[in-house]
């Protein structure tokens, strides 16, 4: 999550000593210089955070693309497995139908043979 990634929400405009912009007095030259330094620090911090957030966004995009590719690959693999099972079942059905037809043909021949033997005996 955000806590684990090192991302956090900070206070912008803090000087290196920890004071914020609201504590600065720009009525003096020294105060104005401190305010400019604080503003520069805040801008640097904003730029760093924007850079970090951009990198996180790129990681999210990359992860999303990877997950999308994985989902497509899994769907294709599942389809191949289902198609393979269907082909196997179709082959088994055909084999059983051929065996049944062969059995029926053999039974018909056996009946004809017995009829032939009976006709010879008469």
The backbone torsions φ and ψ at residue 8, rounded to the nearest 5 degrees and listed phi first, read -160, 170
CA-wise closest residue to 38 among 12, 62, 4: 12
Whether 2 shows a pLDDT value over 50: the answer reads no
At 38-54, the pLDDT tens digits run 889 999 999 999 999 99
Mean pLDDT of 96-104: 95
């Amino acid at each position: 999550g955000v806590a684990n990634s090192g991302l956090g929400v900070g206070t912008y405009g803090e000087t290196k000593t920890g004071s914020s912009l609201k504590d600065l007095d720009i009525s003096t030259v020294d105060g104005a210089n401190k305010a400019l330094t604080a503003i520069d620090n805040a801008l640097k911090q904003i730029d760093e955070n924007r850079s970090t957030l951009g990198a996180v966004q790129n990681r999210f995009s990359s992860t999303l693309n990877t997950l999308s590719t994985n989902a497509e690959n899994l769907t294709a693999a599942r389809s191949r497995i289902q198609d393979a099972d269907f082909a196997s079942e179709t082959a088994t059905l055909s084999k059983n139908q051929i065996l049944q037809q062969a059995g029926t043909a053999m039974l018909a021949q056996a009946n004809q043979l017995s009829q032939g033997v009976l006709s010879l005996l008469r």
